[in-house]
Amino acid sequence: MPSSKGYAATNAKSPLAQINFRRRSPGPHDIVVDILYCGVCHTDLHQARDEWGGSRYPMVPGHEIIGRVSSVGDAVIKFKPGQIAAIGVIVDSCRKCPSCAIGEEHYCDEGPTETYNSLDRIDGSVTMGGYSNNYVVDERFAHTVPENLSLPGVAPLLCAGITTYSPLRHWRVGPGAKVGIVGLGGLGHVALKFAHSFGAHVVQFTTSPGKKADALRLGADEVVLSTDDAAMRAHTKSFDFILDTVSGSHSLDPYLALLKRDRTMTLVGVPQQPPGYSVFSLIGRRASISGSMIGGMPETQQMLEYCGQHNITADVEVIPIQKINEAFERLLKQDVRYRFVIDMSTLS
């Protein structure tokens, strides 16, 4: 495998800068992908800055990858050179535990191999993500892309898309359900599109008054400014399901107060400071808090097909790779409408 290049953090405080590195040699089941686009997930920022602990440097982030297949191994059946392929948050797993056996590889008992900041199961190297020119991946962990969708808008579906599609499906969000989406960022805006498309009555919660018109355009039936206590109280005990996509510190209590009896609030956002709640918010209505992480390979492909059928993509701002540090700062200021996507042709 020839040398690769990408943008890397070299420690928790450094801006990202260009480096050269090596990927593992492609095997018979691997495809090599020339990367066209990579989405910028808030997880990239959390990990580049070691906000969750366990970061390995240098780190090339990026797990919302769209690329063109440049070569395939002898045993590859799903892809041919020249075809578009998509790679998400995980690139390998043990493949034999109960979760892997049913296509829930992201819940692998041994822990899945992540697209970056993980140890490659084949050669032990540290995986490097999609802010780079190419990727080597087993075809089992790559997806085909419906031809009618615009590629920059597909990239975020590989993380933001599946991370919200999966819990909305698991908790059977559909017609007749009143559903809340907390936070209108990368994950939140795709969650809103899915919940609306599934036929639910969707209420978007936001801390940003300037996002109200966008939320309505993206499919919200109602928009609530979460800083407005009276507006929040007006929805007390009325929700069937709430999905929390927030990346920063916040309390769950104001949202738990909005659930009907026996309902669930699912957390997908992973703030550095874990969100707090009072036990009283749960016991008064037998409420549950749950969590959900991305989705398995079959469900990710199913989500992409659903998006193809319903013409769903992310709303994106395409940036050159040279603007990635600025994009991170803008993410922190909640200043993205609604996902940055890097045009990788700008990497020289």
Contact footprint for Zn ion (CB under 5 A): 41, 43, 159
Q: How far is the CB of 4 from ligand NAP (least distance, A)?
A: 24
8 Å CB contact between 38 and 48:
no
319 DSSP β-pair partners: 342
The residue (of 42 and 263) whose beta carbon lies closer to Zn ion is 42
The region of 75-83, 91-99, 243-251, 281-289 touching ligand NAP under the rule CB under 6 A is 243-251
- What does the block give as tokens for 250? 């916040």
- β-pairing, 259-267 with 239-244? parallel
Give the total of residues touching ligand NAP (CB under 6 A).
Answer: 32
Residue 42 touches ligand NAP, criterion: CB under 6 A: yes
8 Å CB contact between 137 and 120:
no
Residue 193 touches ligand NAP, criterion: CB under 6 A: no
The region of 67-75, 110-118, 139-147, 201-209 touching ligand NAP under the rule CB under 6 A is 201-209
The residue (of 187 and 259) whose beta carbon lies closer to ligand NAP is 187
Q: Classify the C-alpha dihedral 133-138-139-144 as positive or negative.
A: negative
205 DSSP β-pair partners: 182, 224
Among 336, 341, 342, 344, binds ligand NAP (CB under 6 A): 336
Residue 115 touches ligand NAP, criterion: CB under 6 A: no
Residue 132 touches ligand NAP, criterion: CB under 6 A: no
Q: How far is the CB of 301 from ligand NAP (least distance, A)?
A: 17
Residue 247 touches ligand NAP, criterion: CB under 6 A: yes
Give the span between the Cα atoms of 243 and 230, in whole angstroms: 21
- Indicate the SS3 state at residue 227: coil
Residue 164 touches ligand NAP, criterion: CB under 6 A: no
The residue (of 9 and 256) whose beta carbon lies closer to Zn ion is 9
By beta carbon distance, the residue nearest Zn ion is: 41
Among 38, 85, 86, 159, binds ligand NAP (CB under 6 A): 159
Which of the listed partners (Zn ion, ligand NAP, none) does 293 bind, with a CB threshold of 5 to 8 Å by partner kind?
ligand NAP
Which of the listed partners (ligand NAP, Zn ion, none) does 247 bind, with a CB threshold of 5 to 8 Å by partner kind?
ligand NAP
Kindly report each contact of residues 50-53 with a partner whose C-beta sits within 8 Å and lies 24 or more positions away, as own/partner. Answer: 50/12, 51/272, 52/270, 52/272
- Indicate the SS3 state at residue 19: strand
Cis before 58? omega within 30: yes
96 DSSP β-pair partners: none
